Amino acid sequence: MEKRVRVRFAPSPTGGLHMGGVRTALFNYLFAKKHGGDFILRIEDTDQTRFVEGAEAYIINALKWCGISPNEGVGFGDGPHAPYRQSERKESGIYKKYADRLIESGHAYYAFDTSEELDEMRKRLEAAKVVAPQYNAVTRQNMRNSLTLPEDEVKKLLDSGAKYVIRLKVPRNEEIRFNDIIRGWVVVNSAQVDDKVLLKSDGMPTYHLAHIVDDIEMKISHAVRGEEWLPSAPAHILIYRYLGLENDMPKLAHLPLILNPDGNGKISKREARFPVFPLSWHDPREAMPYIGYKETGYYPEAFVNILALLGWNPGNNEEIFSLEQLSALFDFERVHKSGAKFDPEKAKWFNQQYLRKHTDAELAEVFKPILKEKGYERSDAFLADFCRLVKEKVQFVHEFWNHGKYVFEAPTAYDEKVMTKKWNDKSKAIYSAVTAKFTAVNDWTVDNITKSFHDAEAEVGKVDMQVLRVLVSGVAGGPQLFDMLALIGKEEVLNRLNIALSTLS
RNA sequence: GGCCCGUUCGUCUAGGGGUUAGGACACGUCCCUUUCACGGAUGAAACACGGGUUCGAUUCCCGUACGGGCUACCA
Contact yes or no for A416/A372 (Cβ under 8 A): no
> In this predicted model, what pLDDT tens digit does every residue of A174-185 receive, in sequence order?
999 999 999 999
Half-sphere exposure (Cβ direction) of A333: Cα atoms closer than 13 Å = 4
Task: Answer yes or no: is pLDDT of A367 > 90.
Answer: yes
Q: What average pLDDT is seen over chain A?
A: 95
Q: Which of residues 352-391 of A touch strand B (CB under 7 A)?
A: none
What residue ranges do the domains of chain A occupy?
93-255, 410-505
Q: Which helix (DSSP H) or strand (DSSP E) does residue A39 occupy?
A: strand A38-41
> Does the domain formed by A410-505 have CATH 1.10.10.350?
yes
ipTM confidence: 0.95
Measure CA A472 to chain center. 42
Measure CA A88 to chain center. 28
| Nearest nt by C1' to A450 Cα | B34
The answer to whether the beta carbon of residue A14 comes closer than 7 angstroms to any atom of strand B is yes
CA-wise closest residue to A10 among A62, A71, A78, A86: A86
d(CA A347, CA A349): 5
d(CA A120, CA A69): 47
**CATH superfamily label, A93-255:** Glutamyl-tRNA Synthetase; Domain 3 (3.90.800.10)
The answer to whether the beta carbon of residue A190 comes closer than 7 angstroms to any atom of strand B is no
Predicted pLDDT at A379: 96
Predicted pLDDT at A263: 65
Strands, E, within A243-401: which ranges? Answer: 251-255, 258-259, 340-341
* Residue A34 annotated as catalytic: no
The answer to whether the beta carbon of residue A131 comes closer than 7 angstroms to any atom of strand B is yes
Q: Which helix (DSSP H) or strand (DSSP E) does residue A116 occupy?
A: helix A115-127
Q: State residue A382 phi and psi, 5-degree precision.
A: -60, -45
Task: Answer yes or no: is pLDDT of A446 > 80.
Answer: yes
Q: For the beta carbon of residue A408, count every other beta carbon within 10 angstroms.
A: 16
Nucleotides of B strand lying within 7 Å of any protein CB atom: 1-8, 10-15, 22-26, 34-38, 67-75
d(CA A46, CA A205): 7
The answer to whether the beta carbon of residue A214 comes closer than 7 angstroms to any atom of strand B is no
Catalytic residue of the set A64, A269, A348, A405: A269
| Closest amino acid to nucleotide B7 (CA–C1') | A338
Q: Which helix (DSSP H) or strand (DSSP E) does residue A437 occupy?
A: helix A427-439
| Closest amino acid to nucleotide B69 (CA–C1') | A228
Predicted pLDDT at A464: 93
Q: Where are the alpha helices (DSSP H) in A173-299?
A: 207-217, 233-242, 293-296
> In this predicted model, what pLDDT tens digit does every residue of A191-246 receive, in sequence order?
999 999 999 999 999 999 999 999 999 999 999 999 999 999 999 999 999 999 99
Beta strands A108-111 and A251-255 are unpaired
> In this predicted model, what pLDDT tens digit does every residue of A248-290 receive, in sequence order?
999 999 999 999 998 678 888 887 889 999 999 999 999 999 9
CA-wise closest residue to A446 among A360, A385, A376, A358: A385
Predicted pLDDT at A339: 94
The answer to whether the beta carbon of residue A13 comes closer than 7 angstroms to any atom of strand B is no
In the chain, the amino acid numbered A265 is G
pLDDT bucket at A3, cuts 50 / 70 / 90: confident
What HEC string does A382-394 produce?
HHHHHHHHHHHHC
> In this predicted model, what pLDDT tens digit does every residue of A320-342 receive, in sequence order?
999 999 999 999 999 999 999 99
- In order of A368, A371, A383, A395, A426, the CA distances from A374 in angstroms are 10, 5, 14, 20, 37
Answer whether the bond into residue A171 is a cis peptide, omega within 30°. no
> In this predicted model, what pLDDT tens digit does every residue of A480-500 receive, in sequence order?
999 999 999 999 999 999 999
Predicted pLDDT at A1: 56
> In this predicted model, what pLDDT tens digit does every residue of A16-74 receive, in sequence order?
999 999 999 999 999 999 999 999 999 999 999 999 999 999 999 999 999 999 999 99
Task: Answer yes or no: is pLDDT of A2 > 80.
Answer: no
Mean of pLDDT values over A108-117: 96
Q: Which of residues 304-333 of A touch strand B (CB under 7 A)?
A: 309-313, 315-317, 319
Mean of pLDDT values over A148-155: 96
d(CA A212, CA A186): 19
